[in-house]
Amino acid sequence: MPDARVNVPAEVARGKPFEVRILIRHPMETGYRTDESGKPIPRNVLATFTCRYNGETVLVARLGPGIAANPYLRFFVTARESGQLTFEWVDEAGVRGDERVAVTVV
Amino acid sequence: MLHALAVVVACCAGSVAAQERVLPLSALRSGITFAGADVRAMQSDDIANPGMLWVERGETLWNAPAGATGMSCSSCHGTASGSMRGVATRYPAYDSTAGAMQDLEARIDDCRTHRQQASPLPRESDDLLSLTTYVAHQSRGLPLGVSIDGPARAAFERGRAFFARRHGQMNVACTQCHDQNWGKRLLAEPISQGHGTAFPAYRLEWQALGSLQRRLRACPFAIRADMPPSGASELTDLELYLAWRAQGLPIETPGVRR
């Protein structure tokens, strides 16, 4: 069940970088763990994370098995006009998740 | 002489409660004060705190119809921020209908099976954890204050005895670490006073959120003792003793721990 929590400022200044924070629910299975019966749990981590602003790609991240469960990403984006930030991610099992948030430039 | 007598009388009046406490109320310290700056920062920031994912999911479940009645938690209890504020501070509590002590998980599941007529939620299932976290979160910042009177008294005494008794191959009691040696280190880890105020809490070791009972089961494992199964009455008794022992400490749910 893909879900996430996103945080951006209520209003951002034109041309000034603002902070974007996102927490994504994902187990980030390394492939090195076993279940209670000793069977290996297959590796499944987030493969890619993409952030777009009004359709334009602003960040692409490739995550690996060294990143803890429920990854928390924090980065900066600069906006010239109000619009929509969209986030998309896909894990190695092919499960996709997405989230969107409106940004108001003042 | 009169002054001395007054002191004696004052001591006697306070003695029933005071003598029972190994850790005086003024010495209580939440587990978060033993954690490093990184863990403290993670807990205090609701966006970085992964436990908030469970709070959010709990809110969805709170409003979702379940069971044969097609009712949701909110059908009876309305908005949780009002109706559930302070509820978690009083648990575990004795339930006269069930005729037993119930922790918050058991209470929620009781409501679910008997009122909503839905299938029970297993302990440590994501749904039960989410609902419990959501309900306990409504009491964040409020001090614990369980009742140990009446029918709860026997459970309290059992919990207290469990805490004081030596367990397992290592032959140690809870009290030896958490009353007598808190603040020192066990290998790399600081020993806390063993309060459950953060729970359900996100534990970095688990890479997930878990219940207080899950945490309590981890200690017997570490000292090579028999682990009571999840939902066992020994664990509920222990939860009650711990809640009384931590009386006045604020609830932190969802806390973050190592």
DSSP-based three-state secondary structure for B113: helix
pLDDT of residue A30: 94
Whether A23 and B208 lie within 8 Å, measured CB to CB:
no
Q: What digits encode the pLDDT tens for the residues B219-258?
A: 999 999 999 999 999 999 999 999 999 999 999 999 999 9
Answer yes or no: is pLDDT of A2 > 90.
no
- Give the residue ranges of DSSP H helices in B140-251: 152-164, 174-178, 212-222, 233-245
CB B191 within 8 A of CB B182: yes
Is B157 inside any structural domain?
yes
Q: What is the mean pLDDT of residues B11-15?
A: 42
> Minimal CA–CA distance to B109: which of B211, B248, B223?
B211
Q: Between chains, do A68 and B207 touch, taking CB under 8 Å as contact?
A: yes
Between CA B30 and CA B141 the distance in angstroms is 12
Closest-CA residue to B203 (of A106, A69, A5) = A69
Burial class (CB in 10 A: 0-12, 13-18, 19+), B21: middle
Dihedral sign computed on CA atoms, order B9, B14, B16, B22:
negative
Structure tokens at B28: 């209580």
Instruction: Output the domain CATH number for residue B111.
Output: 1.10.760.10
Contact with chain B for residue A104, Cβ under 8 A: no
**Nearest chain B residue (CA) to A8:** B47
| B17 assigned to some structural domain | no
Q: Which residue of B has its CA nearest to A67?
A: B207
How many other CB atoms are there within 10 angstroms of residue B205's CB atom?
Answer: 10
Domains of chain A and any CATH numbers = 4-103 (2.60.40.10)
Structure confidence at residue B128 (pLDDT): 98
Higher pLDDT, B16 or A52: A52
Residue B8 lies in a domain: no
Which residue range is the domain that position B57 belongs to? 26-257
Q: Has residue A90 got a pLDDT over 50?
A: yes
In a domain, B83, yes or no: yes
CB spacing of A23 vs B56 below 8 angstroms:
no
> Which of A70, A73, A87, A99 has the highest number of chain B CBs within 10 A, making it the mutation to test binding with B?
A70
Flag if B56 and A68 touch (Cβ within 8 Å).
no
Catalytic residues of B: 219
Task: Give chain B positions within 8 Å (CB) of A25.
Answer: 50, 53
B3, part of any domain? no
Strand, helix or coil at B246?
coil
B18 has pLDDT over 50: no
pLDDT tens readout for residues B23-77: 999 999 999 999 999 999 999 999 999 999 999 999 999 999 999 999 999 999 9
pLDDT band, very low/low/confident/very high, at B3 (cuts 50, 70, 90): low
CB contact under 8 A, A25 and B52: no
Query: Is B1 part of any domain?
Result: no
Distance CA B138, CA B90 (A): 13
Which residue in B102, B107, B84 sits closest to B147, CA to CA? Answer: B102
Q: Which residues of A touch B207 (CB under 8 A)?
A: 27-28, 68-70
Place of tokens 């309590």: B216
Q: Tell me how many domains chain B contains.
A: 1
**Nearest-CA neighbor of A50 among A18, A90, A6?**
A90
